Amino acid sequence: MTTDDRDTFAGDEAHHGPGVKAYLIVFAGLALATLVSFATNRWAVGDLANRAHTSFAIIMAVSVVKTCLVGAFFMHLIVDWRRLYYLIIPAFILGTMMMIVLLPDIVLAWHQ
């Protein structure tokens, strides 16, 4: 192995993004949020008629926070936010085109 080959290992590159400590803190936050969701669900079981909407709102808020944490840290959106546009914009264009293309089939099947 020459010295040029040793310089190209992936482990030798500079690390960008959050470190292990940040991942462990996010993991602890996700575990705590999951505990809050389960506790809220358990709280609502006793009087479901009166607590259903409140528990639903709390669980949805907790799941939005968990989704943002996972997306930001584990999917590296904090570091690669600019690259995301190259993936999101074509997905929105293709999704819109697919809805327009399938709309006649959906409408015709609905009327029958």
For position 87, what pLDDT does the model report? 82
The model carries a pTM of 0.61
Q: Check: CB of residue 102 under 8 Å from CB of residue 110.
A: no
In whole angstroms, how far apart are CA 11 and each of 53, 59, 111?
50, 40, 60
pLDDT at 92 over 60: yes
Give the pLDDT confidence of 29-84 residue by residue, as tens digits: 999 999 999 999 888 887 777 788 889 999 999 999 999 999 888 888 888 777 77
What are the φ and ψ backbone dihedral angles of 16, each rounded to 5 degrees?
A: -120, 145
Q: What is the DSSP string of 26-84?
A: HHHHHHHHHHHHHHHHHHHHHTHHHHHHHHHHHHHHHHHHHHHHIIIIIT-TTTSHHHH
